[in-house]
Structure 1
């Protein structure tokens, strides 16, 4: 819980230190984060709940048509009128095709990661993705990064590092418990074999 609060606090400081702060943009971004978190939690329920146990490919088979239906509605009312206003618009099927392949690969990777770890891990990984985007915008586009931004990113980085440390320790403890259980099972089977061998010897001597 502490690491999640530190990550959220760091991101909030970084947003507060934005050089061109826009309340509407921040509100839209927060809404997008909330919807994305909800989507990831639902994906985790779909992949890991008892009685469902869908694999990533099967999950995409059911989820993709739903996504298409939900995206068509805003496309018809927002994008289509703009495309009609531009009479010279010609769809590039190569661009659309490569974009579709990238989207498929991204969704497949998300489903695999959520299925193997959790939705929380995916959200934390999203923070790292945001850092990479900010680094790209600063180094290539020459966007402005303030000291408050860097301070907030530093706090968020410490939170992510602590989260990864806790996850790694939990995985090590789980692996150690699994090895100990296997060793106990092997020792129990050896004792049973010895007892059975001793019983056979006593029967033969009798």
Structure 2
């Protein structure tokens, strides 16, 4: 869950990736060195592990696609229409898993470099976590009424939302290139929405709201956490507990006790495997941003989205018209321009 934005629209999971679409922020051009502790005969020095791009990119793509299709399967096919509960469960699982990794590996060692004071937590982590929670909940509600393929097309609009909010906060100044990108992506998404046969206004508004929350979160991270470097696992370490608590407070008002009565439809195996795959995506994201250039990662994200749309058509019978394909192609062109220019 989703931890899915389409990281999307990703990864980003495209940051702590969404539960429904846990994507990596492919704009991150830094190279990270991932270390995992392995016992040795002397010194117990951590062994540095770098996974080749040819290996980690397919793993990341498989995890990202699996998370989105699996969430759709749980919410719709298994008739478990409780996205807030499912999101809360994913976040609780992630909060526990990151703390296990912190004690058993060096994957979460980045948290040691961050001085997390009470003031910083209240002023930065809490509001960003609230935005993240809203993004997760709304994005998963969209899956109840929209097809996976259509949602992925809408996620292409995320860079536009980021740019518009950045303009509003005067983080970036409009220029001809950015205006052209905004027009390309907006036109493509409009054509994709116009060509959608099974259009549902409620789902569309939920996905639009999720994009606004996610874009606001990314901009707030740039403003409030300027200079702090958080990879997806460290982000999960700080944000997952906050979001889980916020979501848990929302459950009684929007879903009540019904999710607990309906747990037999899902079962423990599905619950744990679903949350496990979502968390595995975040681990894969750590290795992903340490390999390849920004262009390679962007193209991988685009290819992943195309595979996901194709997979949703085959797995769930989603209909994709020629007009949608044309509109989405225009959006992808704008998205690639946005990613390869660093959003400038």
The interval holding the TM-score normalised by the smaller chain is 0.5 to 0.7
Query: Residue 236 of structure 2 aligns with which residue?
Result: 60
Distance 1:106 1:74, change over 3 A: farther
Q: Distance in 2 between matches of 1:76 and 1:124?
A: 42
Query: Residue 77 of structure 1 aligns with which residue?
Result: 253
Distance 1:21 1:96, change over 3 A: closer
TM-score under structure 1 normalisation? 0.59
Query: Residue 89 of structure 1 aligns with which residue?
Result: 264
Q: Is the 8 A contact 1:17 1:149 kept in 2?
A: yes
Q: Is the 8 A contact 1:56 1:112 kept in 2?
A: no
Matches within 5 A, 1:170-181: none
Query: Residue 26 of structure 1 aligns with which residue?
Result: 204
Higher helix share: 1
Query: Residue 10 of structure 1 aligns with which residue?
Result: 188
Query: Relative to structure 2, which stretch is displaced further, 154-163 or 20-29?
Result: 154-163
Query: Residue 274 of structure 2 aligns with which residue?
Result: 99
Q: Distance in 2 between matches of 1:43 and 1:15?
A: 30
Matches within 5 A, 1:1-206: 1=178, 2-45=180-223, 49-50=226-227, 52-54=228-230, 56-83=232-259, 85-86=261-262, 89=264, 92-107=267-282, 130-166=305-341
Cα offset for 1:125? 8.3
Cα offsets for 1:155-185 (capped at 9, x unmatched) = 1122233335545xx9xxxxxxxxxxxxxxx
TM-score under structure 2 normalisation? 0.38
Cα offsets for 1:111-145 (capped at 9, x unmatched) = 787999xxxxx999877655443222223333222
Q: Distance in 1 between matches of 2:242 and 2:216?
A: 15
Q: Distance in 2 between matches of 1:115 and 1:77?
A: 42
Cα offsets for 1:34-89 (capped at 9, x unmatched) = 11222333445566x13x44554443222111010122123333444323555x83
Q: Is the 8 A contact 1:7 1:157 kept in 2?
A: yes
Give 3-state SS (helix, strand or coil) of 1:20's partner. coil
Q: Distance in 2 between matches of 1:124 and 1:40?
A: 21
Distance 1:91 1:22, change over 3 A: closer
Q: Distance in 2 between matches of 1:129 and 1:22?
A: 25
Give 3-state SS (helix, strand or coil) of 2:257's partner. helix
Q: Is the 8 A contact 1:40 1:114 kept in 2?
A: no
Q: Is the 8 A contact 1:9 1:152 kept in 2?
A: yes
Query: Relative to structure 2, which stretch is displaced further, 132-141 or 151-160?
Result: 132-141
Q: Is the 8 A contact 2:298 2:336 kept in 1?
A: no
Q: Is the 8 A contact 2:191 2:327 kept in 1?
A: yes
